[in-house]
Structure formats: structure tokens, C-alpha cells
A and B are shown apart, each in its own frame.
Chain A
Amino acid sequence: MKNKIIRGIGVSPSIAMGKAFLYTPKEIILSSKRKKGKIEEEIKLFEKARCLSLRQLRKLKLELKKMKDVQTPRLIDVQLLFLQDPLFLNSVEKRMRNGKESAEEAIINFAKGLEKDFLNIPNSYIAERYSDVKDVISRLLRNLREEEDASLEEFGEIGVAESFTASSVLELSKLGVKGIVSEGGGRTSHFVILAEALGVSTVVGANGITNEIETGDEIIVDGISGVVIIRPDEDTKRRFERKREEAIAIQKEFLEKKFLPATTIDGFSIDISANIELPVEIPLIKEYGAKGVGLLRTEYLFLTSKGIPSEEEQYNFYVKIAESVFPDYVIMRTLDLGGDKVFKMKMQEENPFLGWRGIRFTLSNEEIFRAQLRAMLRASAKGNVRILIPMVSQIEEILRVRELTEKIKKELKEEGILFDENIEIGAMVEIPSVPLMADFFSEVVDFFSLGTNDLTQYTLAVDRGNKKISYLFDQLDPAVITLMKMTVEKAHHNNKWVGVCGDVASDLVALPILLGMEVDELSLPLAFIPQVKEVIRGLSLKECKELLKNIEGKKSAREVREMLKEEILRRFPSFKNILVEVEND
């Protein structure tokens, strides 16, 4: 079938086309047509592939360390140790010697047994490590089948997998892979952030893609709209090629002007800062023309293979970012675990999104929270750090944070450690109780940050990851816009400032209404910053305000979008193709 369309979430402002390959096959199957050799030959072949895999992984580990990534190499360690695991080596050798299996059969049969064992592990974190093991087994098989280093001819231009690891993305990008599509993952997965930083076109959440694709199929990955087209016909290819060239040209134009301020035609200026999480992103903050960091996620430090980071380790990371963006500021969000990021066994709940997340978790784990707040306060010595609290629903939560912060300040003073006495503390706006009570919240916070992804989820009661209902999820739903507006009005009335750190800030058609509300700051993924700044420079605040008024009469997200799209296209005719979505077939 031609033109098979699969919709996922687009997470990069670019489009890639080319031959697809299944990077990690859904099932590891026998694919080699090679005739089985003598036992000794098979053993030699296995050993050669194993040594090659070890060499490749060691090289990769070094490269990641050079990129200042300390966490991913630890997962590579698991892969390196697997290749030297006596259980694995003995079992495979036995299969080859006694079972007369070929090297490939032996590896595959061993892997099948192993997968069953792993899936029986009750601890989900450990069970997930099978993905690392599967990754290394795939590598071993590739090396065995090819008997040479993987090259782009073998891979194709677009990688498809259930999920990727940060290390595999780095490696594929080095081999010249232009795009990746995964079934799993989200906008904040590590491999996605890395892919974005490396300029690889990426679509995640493309359910069913691994069943639809055969290695060698032509495929289009539209990281802008999230559409993936399998086996496109000539006409579709031409259309997307145009769209791709335009996207490149427009991006180039954006990049040339990335250092110009985001000021509207009529002189309204807004800060555009970056959402970051990984150490590799620090050098890119300035490169993309961001003004500081509007959201530093800290989950990465806690979720990787290391466990709970010490205060010292956190301080080193925080202070490095604070210094690199000085005199601009960095807003550090305290640990936001729970929901879709499960920290450990004990957090598995019936309904995690309505459960023990964010501030609810940190307030009941005071030791963890205290170490994090101390590290953030210490990093604030130069006065350019702000603290942001996730998943706030009650005034009381902020009061408790303030109490704890004051205690820590006193301690630091006694210890003679420098920090910012007037450090600002803000609340994420994700739960509708915050906009509704924003007047009262304004008395206890210094600023608000609109986390529109969760605000939409909690306002409309839609889990975006659930394909059956995800059509209901739209951050431009009039109900969500109303809550955002309510927050800004009440906050400004009380002289508090408001930033936006959700996906809506990188949605080009949403910019006029965010400006119309006069939010004070937008924070977005690095790759989207240049284009958002350019669009703002083409808008006028006066018109944005009028537009926001007109939106008030709209009853659905669809109506809102249609109107906004028209408005943006009127001002930026050249965006025609980067805004148009593919019609469903």
C-alpha cells in the first residue's frame, strides 16, 4: 500500500526522507542467509563480532564522555559487561558446540530465554534494562551478519524502532542518519532531546510503525506535524520535498537572525529562554539565541543509572548552568517525578497522574528535597537562579516550601556559604486549582510558569498518551486558554510575572494569543527558539490583543486553530507549507 500514514508527535522543526531500517527489530529473528559453518568457524565468527562490538561501545563511551554526558556511559557499561558475561558466553558456546547451532542461532535463542526472565522481574526499572540488553544483542547480530562496521548503506537514512537510547541516537547521527521514528518516547525523553540537539528529524509516539515498516521502505518523517508517511507515491514525495526545502530555507533565515531580540513591530519585548535537561545542551543555550533557561528539568539527575544524586553532585551541575548563562537567569524546577516517570517500585500507583507526583512527593521525602533546595540555593550566589515548584495544587504546599527554604538559608548563613537572599520561588500552573486561586497564590509566590501540557491534561481529563482519546487533547482548547488568561490577569494584577514553559510556546500559531495575554517569558526546546523569535518580530501586540478578544467567541480548539492559522499565514505567506497538515487518507 502506498502513502500509509501514521501519526505521532513531531518533536523537531525539520523533515527527513529516505530509506528506512528497523534499528532494533521488534523480534530478534534469524535473517542471515549464510550457510552454517563448522563448529570452530562459528565460534571464531562469534568471537570476532563480540570483539568488534566491545570496541564500538568503548569508542561510543569515550565520545559521550567528551560531550560531558556522565549518565549514558553507565548504561553502556551494562552492555559492555553483557558482552563479557560468563553466563552468556558459556551458554552460547554450549549451544554452538553441543547443540550444533550457528553463532547467530545461538545468540537469538539465548536472547529469547533472557527476555522471558527479564519480563518476569517485578521491578519495572530493572525490567526496562532489557532494552539496553536488546540493544547490545542487535549490535552483536549486526556485526555478525555484516562482519564489518555498520555503514549508512546498511542502515538507510531513517531509523525506526520501538524506542531508542541516547547512545544509539548519537551513533546513528554520526553515521549520517537523518531521521528517527519511535513508537515510545515523549518530547522529554533523553534520546529525543539529543536528537533535537543533533538536528535529526524526529517523530515519537508513532504507534504500530515497527509492524508497518520493512527495512528498505521509503519513508517521510515530518518532525513538524508528527506525520510519518510510509512508501509515499511520487506526488507526495514531491510535495514533501518542497516542504522540506522550505523548512530548511526558513530555518536558515531564522538562524541568521537568532541573536536579534524578540520584539514585536510595535515595540513589545518578551524574553525567549530555553527548556533544558541534559549537560550536552549547556553549550547550545547561547548558540540558539536563548536568553537564559526558563525551565531546567532536574529529573535526569535522578532517573539515570546512578540513583539519588548527592547535594554536591547536584550543586556542580546547577552552578555550571548558572555560570554559563550569567547574567541571564536559570529557573530550576525541583524534582518532578511520578506520573509517567516512575522513580522506583514504591511509587507504582493505581493512577499515577492523579497521584504522588512533583511537590507531593518531595514534601514527603524531606531528605531528598532538602538536598536539592540546598544545592539550588548554593548555586544562586550570583543572583541569577530561581526555583520552580511542580504539581502545585494548594497554597499550603508553597508555604511549606518557603518554610523549608528559610530553614536552609539560616543553615547556609551559619556555615558562611553564599547564596541569593531574595531568591524567587514560583509555582508551575498545571492543575486548574492554581488559575482559579491565582489571586491567593500571588500572595505566596514570586512568579508563575504555565505548564500547558499538564494543564490541558488536567483541565480536559485527557491522557495524551492514550490513542483512543488523544484527539481531545489540544493546548489551544478554549477552556485551557481561559485558564491561562485568568492566571496572567490575576498575576499581573498582583505584580507577579508569568512565563510559559509548555509545548504551546513552540506552537507557532499559538504565539499571537500568548503575546495578546502579555505573558512575560516563553521557554521552549532549543531547536524551536530561532523560529519563534522570528514570528514574534513579525507580529504586533495591538493586533494580538484584538485576536485574543475574537478568540473568546470560539467554542472549540478547531475553531481557534483555524482562525489563528489564517492569521499567521496572512502575515507569513512563506509558512504555508510548514503549517499545513497532511490530509488523512
Chain B
Amino acid sequence: MLEKEVKILNSLGIHARPASMIVKLASKFDSHIELEKDNVRVNAKSIMGVLMLASEEGDKIKIIANGKDEEEAVKALVELIEKRKFDEE
């Protein structure tokens, strides 16, 4: 089980396209992956879950991964959210 906190940096937050990107990426891993914001936890492989988080710029969200490839999964998601900022900037 691995946890990591990330900050949402892109100005529109997790709207439709970033949400799709998260779900597509998370679905590539076998591990169970969840996102948590303000004590709400959602399945990172569920588009509805990720949209429901309604994360905006500046929000901190926690990535929680559990499974064989948890390390790679967390690393990939951190890269997408913080480094690539969903390729928006």
C-alpha cells in the first residue's frame, strides 16, 4: 500500500479531459487505485468517481495505490498530474 499527496496545478482543475486521462492511465495498472480529497475517496478507474471529486486548481489530493504495481502506478499518476499538468500548459 502506497500513498502520495499531489497538488492540482492546471488552472481548470480536473474537468472532463484530465479526468479521462487519469482514468485511462489508472486502468493500465492492476493495483487498486483510489483518489482522496476532503475525506472523500473515489476509485481512480471510475470516470464518475474522478469527476465527482470536482478538484480545482490548488486542491491537494491523495493517491492511494494497493497492489503489485503500486509503485509504478503512483509514479505515473504523479507525473501526469504534477509534472505534465495534463499537457495543458
Q: A: which residues have CB within 8 A of B? A: 74-75, 77-78, 81-82, 85-88, 114, 117-118, 121-123, 125-126, 129, 132-133, 305-308, 310, 344-345
Contacts and interface: CB of A to CB of B under 8 A. Distances in A.
A123 B20 contact: no
Contact of B12 (A82, A87, A122, A308): A308
A310 B12 CA distance: 13
Nearest to A77: B20
A58 to B, nearest CB: 14
Contacts of B17: 74, 77, 305-307
29 contacts: A74-B16, A77-B16, A77-B17, A78-B16, A78-B20, A78-B51, A81-B23, A81-B24, A82-B47, A87-B43, A87-B48, A87-B49, A88-B48, A114-B48, A121-B52, A123-B54, A123-B56, A126-B15, A126-B51, A305-B15, A305-B17, A306-B17, A307-B15, A307-B17, A308-B10, A308-B89, A344-B11, A344-B12, A344-B56
Contacts of B89: 308, 310
**Max chain B C-beta neighbours (<10 A), residue from A75, A77, A126:** A126
Across the A-B interface, give the 7 residue pairs with the lowest CB-CB distance, nearest first.
Answer: A305-B16, A81-B47, A307-B12, A305-B17, A87-B46, A77-B20, A123-B54
Contacts of A78: 16, 19-20, 47, 51
Size band of the B side of the interface?
20 to 34
Contacts of A86: 43, 45-46
Contacts of B20: 74, 77-78, 81, 305
Contacts of B24: 81
B52 A117 contact: yes
A520 to B, nearest CB: 38
B66 to A, nearest CB: 15
Interface string B6-18: 0000111101111
Interface string B39-60: 0000101111101101010000
Contacts of B11: 307-308, 344
Interface string B51-78: 1101010000000000000000000000
A123 B18 CA distance: 15
A122 B51 contact: no
Contacts of A77: 16-17, 20
B48 to A, nearest CB: 6
Interface of B: 10-13, 15-20, 23-24, 43, 45-49, 51-52, 54, 56, 86, 88-89
B13 to A, nearest CB: 7
Contacts of A132: 16
Nearest to A367: B11
A122 B54 CA distance: 8
From DSSP, what is the main secondary structure of chain A's interface residues? Answer: helix
A456 to B, nearest CB: 32
B48 A133 contact: yes
Nearest to A132: B16
Contact of A85 (B16, B47, B56, B88): B47
Contacts of B45: 85-86
A57 to B, nearest CB: 13
A126 B49 CA distance: 12
Most buried by A among B15, B20, B43: B15
Contact of A129 (B46, B51, B56): B51
A74 B88 CA distance: 14
Contacts of B49: 85, 87
A125 B15 contact: yes
Contacts of B18: 307
A228 to B, nearest CB: 31
Given A305-B16, A344-B11, 6 more contacts: A81-B24, A87-B48, A129-B16, A307-B11, A307-B86, A310-B88
Contacts of B54: 121-123, 126
B79 to A, nearest CB: 18
Given A125-B15, A306-B17, A307-B11, A85 B48 contact: yes
A454 to B, nearest CB: 25
Nearest to A368: B11
Nearest to B18: A307
A464 B68 CA distance: 58
Nearest to B88: A307
Contacts of A82: 47-48
Nearest to A81: B47
A81 B56 CA distance: 21
A118 B49 CA distance: 10
A74 B17 CA distance: 6
Nearest to B85: A307
Nearest to B16: A305
A66 B39 CA distance: 43
A114 B24 CA distance: 21
B43 A307 contact: no
Contacts of A305: 15-17, 20
Best-buried of B18, B48, B56 by chain A (most CB within 10 Å): B48
B32 to A, nearest CB: 10
Nearest to A79: B47
